[in-house]
């Protein structure tokens, strides 16, 4: 998948969840990426640069990259 599109989608998710507060939004964004993105999407966002991600989306992607 196109990394720009994946960044756009991750940022949209993060922006929609931002009113919950930063910590809750990071948790919810991470859970969404983990639960609903298919393996190709996850691999694409993890393999790309983090530039262009909003802070909440970036934190969620970094958490997704960390071993459980």
Q: Are 29 and 14 in contact (CB under 8 A)?
A: yes
Mean pLDDT in residue range 4-24: 98
Query: Where along the chain do its domains lie?
Result: 3-65
Q: Are 46 and 61 in contact (CB under 8 A)?
A: yes
The yes-or-no verdict on residue 68 having pLDDT over 80 is no
Mean pLDDT in residue range 47-56: 95
Global pTM reads 0.94
Q: Are 42 and 64 in contact (CB under 8 A)?
A: yes
CA–CA distance, 53 with 4 (Å, rounded to integer): 10
């Amino acid at each position: 998948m196109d990394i720009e599109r994946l960044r756009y989608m991750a940022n949209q998710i993060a922006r929609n969840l931002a009113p919950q507060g930063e910590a809750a939004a990071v948790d919810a964004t991470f859970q969404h990426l983990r639960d609903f993105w298919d393996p190709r999407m996850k691999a694409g966002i993890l393999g790309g640069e983090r530039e262009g991600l909003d802070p909440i989306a970036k934190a969620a992607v970094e958490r997704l990259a960390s071993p459980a």
